[in-house]
A and B are shown apart, each in its own frame.
Chain A
Amino acid sequence: MSKSIECNEWTRKNAQNVKRLALWTGIWLVTMAIAAFGPKFLWPGNEMISTIFIAINWLIGVGMIWANGQHLRGLDELQQKIQLEAMALSLGGGLICGLSYSLMDTTNVIQSDAEISYLVMLMSAIYMVGLLRGNRRYQ
C-alpha cells in the first residue's frame, strides 16, 4: 500500500518537476562558472567567446525560470503558499538590505564596493529561512 502511495501520479509529477529544476539550475551554474572563469583560464582576451557563453548562460537562465514555474505550478496550495511567503520575504529583505548596502557604498560608509553577489547570497539565505519558517508553521 505504502509503495503505491509513494508512486502516485501527483507525487511522481512533483519529483519529476524537482529533478527538471535541479537539472536546469545545475546547467545554469556550470555555464555561469564557465562564463565567469573562462576569460581568465580558457580563452584570455577573446571577447567573442565570452559573449557567446554569457548569451548561453542567459538562455539557460530563461529555461531555469520556466522549470521553476513548472515546479511551483505542480505544488499543492499549501506548498505554494509557503513558497510565496518565502519569496516575498526574500524579495522584501533583498530590496531593503540591498538598497541600504548600496547607500553605504555611495556614501562611503563602507570602504569596499557593493558586490551584487552578497545580495544574491543574502536573498538565498532569507529565502531558506522563509521556507523553514513556513514549513514549521504548517507542521
Chain B
Amino acid sequence: MKNKLKVLRAERDWTQAQLSEKLDVSRQTINAIEKGKFDPSLPLAFKISRLFDLPIESIFEDESSSSK
C-alpha cells in the first residue's frame, strides 16, 4: 500500500519522532509506514487521518487499484 505520510509530515515540518509522539507509536513504526514496509491497522490509519484532517483514501492508496 502506498501512502503520502512522508509528504504530509514534511509539509508540516515535523520530524518522524514528533509524528510518532502525536500518534503514540514508535519512530520505527512511522519510518516503516513511510517506506511502505508496514501497513498500519485501521484504527491507526483513522488516527493519522484525523491528525492530518484528511480522508483516509487521500493518504493511503491501494496499489492494486491504482495499477488498474
Contacts and interface: CB of A to CB of B under 8 A. Distances in A.
Interface stretch (A72-80, A90-98, A102-110, A120-128): A72-80
Instruction: Tell me if A's interface is mostly helix, strand, loop or mixed.
Output: helix
A8 B31 contact: no
Contacts, number: 44
B20 to A, nearest CB: 8
A78 B17 contact: no
Interface of A: 1-2, 4-5, 8-11, 76-79, 81, 135, 137-139
Contact of A1 (B18, B37, B40): B18
Nearest to A78: B29
Nearest to A138: B32
Nearest to A82: B28
A139 B26 CA distance: 12
Contacts of B20: 5
Contacts of B32: 78, 138-139
Given A137-B37, A138-B32, A138-B37, A77 B25 contact: yes
Interface residues of B, number: 16
A125 to B, nearest CB: 23
Contacts of B24: 8-10, 76
6 contacts: A2-B17, A8-B24, A77-B25, A78-B25, A135-B28, A139-B28
A13 to B, nearest CB: 9
Interface in B21-68: 21, 24-26, 28-29, 31-32, 37-38, 40-41, 44
Contacts of A8: 21, 24
Contacts of B25: 10, 76-78
A77 B31 contact: no
A83 to B, nearest CB: 12
Given A10-B24, A138-B28, A139-B28, A77 B41 contact: yes
